[in-house]
Structure 1
Amino acid sequence: MSKSEKEILSMKRMFDIVASLVGLVFLWPLLAVIVVLIKIEMPGPIFFVQKRVGRKGKLFTIYKFRTMTLGHGGSTVSVKGESRITPLGAKLRKYKLDELPELWNVLIGDMSFVGPRPDMPEYYDLLKGEEQKILELRPGITGTASLKYANEEELLSTVPDPVKYNKEIIWPDKVKINLDYYYNNTFLGDIRIIFQTVFR
């Protein structure tokens, strides 16, 4: 790793720590309201907790607000309008509010604000050769692939086999986008992606 690459990583990590801490402090009233709404509308756990693949291929625990019914037994691919997604959950997902607890993942170093979205281990087992360079990055709350597929759930709802379409079309395209990000990411580029995510 070159000196400039190390400097970018250092700046990025410092930004992640400061911004996630500020976000948690200033957004706590909103977080508290969402917690109360989930307890009222969706009896059961407040958080969705799952193992995802992080930097260097290490597993970590991701935290999100729960948006689905308990014991639904569905696939790992989510489609807009599914019965397992509750009415409150649909609103949280629409505005990405279910991902706010990931600020904690960013603060403790499991994730970054910008990077490839963390997926299930079975997807990363599909990475071959150069594609595995993606695992050198911290996974992100948002990223270039996330921006392109911001309407992923709506897109999947229009195809006959969402799981197959995701595996054969969307996932390979995300890998290409994330590999391009690996080679071309900059600190200012990350700031631009964050603004595009917020104001899209």
Structure 2
Amino acid sequence: MDITDRVPRQALPPVDIVRVALGRRVLDIVVASTLLLLLAPLLGLLVLLVRATSGPPVIFRQRRIRAGGGEFTLYKFRTMRESSAGPGVTGSSDSRVTGTGRLLRRLSLDELPQLWHVLRGDMTLVGPRPEVPDLARRYPPECRWVFRHRPGLTGPCQLRSHAYAAQLDGRPDPEGYYLTVLVPERVALDAQFLSHATVGNVVRVAARTVLYVLTAPWERVGRHDRGGEA
């Protein structure tokens, strides 16, 4: 949802941070810096595309939860109409999403600016999805441990977010469904990865992400593969 800084800056009480291992951090820096360099022409084209079809601002900014319960400002290409009101979660057929935004979401191109956050250390390549503060403070208590970990550009949950988004369509209370049904499912998937968050497993999830992006244009709507911009 394209609304920024409407939630309190201190959304969660501080929690102990689980540090990213040195090998993973080195991989983050190498991959993020390399991709930012190689994809610079594509990023420039996307800036022009979003501006031409949706107008300014091109970049969507929103507060998200960092490891330890603090916050950072996340950047994405804007995919929704400016100042669109609505729930804090986005279904696959959400009318707030622009035509260009729907294409960017399908190809996950709206996420590319987050490589900057990986390089800076706000995020890591593979980890839990970065959550918005308003939803984070409403998580079931047994799921809040996930905020001890650095959020990821991709991860097991992100690879299913299109399917998750489809499940929100037509719900009278999409936020309630997200918090009571989808969040526990997502946290369980995160737990499986985080219990063995080795460099090798990071590479495997990253490879699955590349495969997903390459096959996304032919993916049938509703197929359980990936999916979500909250």
TM-score w.r.t. length of structure 2: 0.78
Give the % identical residues.
35
Q: 2 CA distance for matches of 1:94 and 1:148?
A: 12
Q: Flag structure 1 segments of 5+ consecutive residues without an equivalent.
A: none
Give the aligned partner of residue 176 of structure 1: 188
State whether residues 92 and 162 of structure 2, in contact with CA within 8 Å, keep that contact through their aligned partners in structure 1. Answer: no
Give the drift of 1:168.
1.3
Q: What residue is the counterpart of 2:30 in the other structure? A: 18
Match of 1:128 in 2: 141
- Structure 2 residue identity aligned to 1:120: V
Q: In structure 2, list runs of 5 or more residues that go unmatched.
A: 1-17, 213-230
Q: Distance in 2 between matches of 1:92 and 1:29?
A: 16
Q: Which residue of 2 aligns with 1:36?
A: 48
Q: CA deviation at 1:150?
A: 3.8
Task: Find out whether 1:102 has 2:105 as its counterpart.
Answer: no
Deviation at 1:53, TM superposition (A): 0.3
Superposition deviation, residue 184 in structure 1? 2.3
The one-letter code of the counterpart of 1:138 is R
- CA RMSD in angstroms comes to 1.9
What is aligned with 2:96? 84
CA displacement, residues 167-197 of structure 1 (integer Å, 9 cap, x when unaligned): 2110111122222322222110111001111
Counterpart amino acid of 1:128?
A: P
State whether residues 140 and 179 of structure 2, in contact with CA within 8 Å, keep that contact through their aligned partners in structure 1. Answer: no
Aligned to 1:196: 208
The answer on whether the counterparts of 2:140 and 2:180 sit within 8 Å (CA) in structure 1 is no
Higher relative contact order, chain-length normalized (CA < 8 Å, sep 6+)? 2
Which structure: greater helix fraction? 1
Match of 2:11 in 1: none
Amino acid at match of 1:116: P
Give the letter for the 1:65 counterpart: F
Q: CA deviation at 1:73?
A: 1.2
Structure 2 distance, partners of 1:150, 1:72, is: 21
The 1:29–1:189 alpha-carbon spacing in structure 2 relative to 1, beyond 3 Å, is same
Query: How far apart, in 2, do the equivalents of 1:138 and 1:34 lie?
Result: 27
CA offsets 1:63-105 (integer angstroms, 9 cap, x no match): 0000011111121110122221110000000111000000001
The 2-side partners of 1:120 and 1:13 are apart by 24
In 2: Cα distance, 1:157 partner to 1:194 partner: 28
What secondary structure does 2:68 align onto? helix
TM-score w.r.t. length of structure 1: 0.89
Task: Give the C-alpha shift of residue 159 in structure 1.
Answer: 4.3
Q: Which runs of 4+ in 1 moved over 3 A?
A: 158-161
- Is structure 2 residue 150 aligned with structure 1 residue 138? yes
- Number of residue-to-residue matches in the alignment: 194
Mapped to 2, the partners of 1:74 and 1:24 lie a distance apart of: 33
Amino acid at match of 1:176: A
